[in-house]
């Protein structure tokens, strides 16, 4: 074990996964129970670790099937060949061999609306649990949704999450965080914003990616050629200019209506999680018996399986670049 790359001589490092600038992710195996996990090692900023540990603990304690689980944490020694780093903070989390949802969207493009409903419904239930506990994620994106062995989504990365409820109710936020393609317009304007409604906006971007297979705009700013039409409430023009009609996707009006509400410029016009769950777009799934629901679940898993080989090919191609990224 002395020669094995490891964390604290407890977790053998199997594979480097990714680097987000302030932390590195590894696939690891516990030497005591032979179980694989994902380790997130913080390379800088003690305060960042403490914050993420606290928020991840709160989220993990909800025991929601669509939220990643925290198993352990610590401060110890990271050994990578001759490189030994002491006093490094780390989190031990679920490891999902299927990777993240972004890879599967890139590999296979859009999902049918029926299949997207099943995927999105699970993501909504995870976010609903977070909001119910007063947690705003603030970095919801396809890359931050992992997939378990059955291709069920798991929300991860609580590095910029925060509590939005206090003694006086909702606390407005005014810091720039998250992914620019998923960020609500209020964030770019450096204005105070409602945390849950910012998450709703990001969910709208995710929904569009699932159903259409591409982005609906670059950024939610007036300079964006597409989003400025949302700001001006020129919705019919938005659908024409975005070339969606030329793709001949036959998108339902229910989907279009829900999406536009979720990415509304005015955050007060965005629906809540419960309102989304009760939206007409999900009517297709209501009233189905267990056998019918299980059949759709099987269809969704098969859809993911058809994309899996391509995802693995892409991942293999990127592996050499990942090794260089670890050293960066």
What is the DSSP secondary-structure string of 117-134? HHHHHHHHHHHHHHHHTT
Say if residue 1's pLDDT is above 50.
Answer: no
Cβ neighbours for 292, distance < 8 A, ≥ 6 positions apart: none
Threshold 0.75, pTM exceeds: yes
Which secondary structure element, helix H or strand E, spans residue 103, and what is its range? helix 101-108
pLDDT in tens, 98-133: 989 999 999 989 999 999 999 999 999 999 999 999
Q: Is the pLDDT of residue 243 over 80?
A: no
- Quick check: 169 pLDDT over 50? no
pLDDT at 328: 59
| 14 pLDDT more than 70 | yes
Find out whether 272 and 195 touch, Cβ atoms under 8 Å. no
pLDDT at 186 over 50: yes
DSSP-assigned states of every residue in 199-223: HHHHHHHHHHHHHHSS-S-S-SSTT
When pLDDT is cut at 50, 70 and 90, the band that residue 178 belongs to is confident
Predicted pLDDT of residue 241:
86
CATH entry 3.30.200.20 includes domain 6-95? yes
For the chain, residues classed under CATH 1.10.510.10 are 101-285
Give the integer Cα–Cα distance in Å for 117 and 33: 37
pLDDT recorded at residue 172: 67
Mean pLDDT of 293-297: 95
User: Is the per-residue pLDDT at 89 higher than 50?
Assistant: yes
Chain region(s) in the chain for CATH 3.30.200.20 = 6-95
Say whether domain 101-285 belongs to CATH 1.10.510.10. Answer: yes
pLDDT value of position 322:
59
CB 279 within 8 A of CB 254: yes
């Amino acid at each position: 074990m002395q020669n094995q790359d490891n964390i604290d001589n407890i977790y053998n490092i199997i594979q480097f996964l990714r680097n987000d600038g302030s932390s590195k992710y590894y696939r690891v195996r516990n030497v005591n129970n032979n179980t694989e996990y994902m380790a997130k090692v913080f390379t800088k900023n003690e305060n960042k670790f403490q914050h993420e540990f606290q928020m991840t603990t709160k989220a993990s304690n909800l025991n929601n099937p669509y939220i990643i689980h925290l198993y352990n944490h610590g401060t110890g020694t990271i050994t990578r060949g001759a490189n030994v780093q002491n006093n490094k903070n780390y989190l031990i989390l679920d490891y999902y061999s299927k990777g993240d949802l972004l890879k599967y969207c890139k590999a296979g493009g859009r999902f049918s609306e029926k299949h997207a409903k099943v995927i999105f419904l699970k993501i909504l239930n995870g976010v609903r649990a977070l909001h119910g506990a007063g947690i705003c994620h603030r970095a919801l994106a396809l890359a931050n949704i992992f997939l378990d062995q059955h291709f069920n989504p798991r929300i991860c990365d609580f590095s910029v999450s925060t509590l939005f409820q206090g003694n006086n109710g909702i606390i407005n936020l005014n810091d720039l965080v998250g992914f620019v393609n998923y960020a609500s317009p209020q964030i770019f304007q450096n204005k105070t914003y409602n945390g849950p409604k910012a998450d709703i906006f990001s969910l709208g971007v995710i929904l569009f990616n699932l159903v259409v297979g591409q982005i609906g705009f670059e950024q939610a700013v007036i300079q964006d050629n597409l989003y400025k039409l949302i700001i001006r409430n020129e919705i019919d023009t938005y659908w024409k200019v975005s070339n969606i009609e030329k793709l001949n996707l036959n998108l339902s009006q229910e989907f279009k209506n829900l999406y536009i509400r979720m990415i509304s410029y005015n955050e007060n016009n965005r629906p809540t999680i419960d309102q989304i769950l009760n939206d007409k777009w999900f009517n297709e799934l209501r009233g189905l018996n267990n056998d019918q629901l299980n059949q759709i679940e099987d269809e969704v898993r098969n859809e993911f399986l058809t994309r899996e080989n391509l995802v693995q090919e892409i991942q293999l191609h990127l592996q050499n670049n990942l090794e260089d990224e670890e050293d960066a």
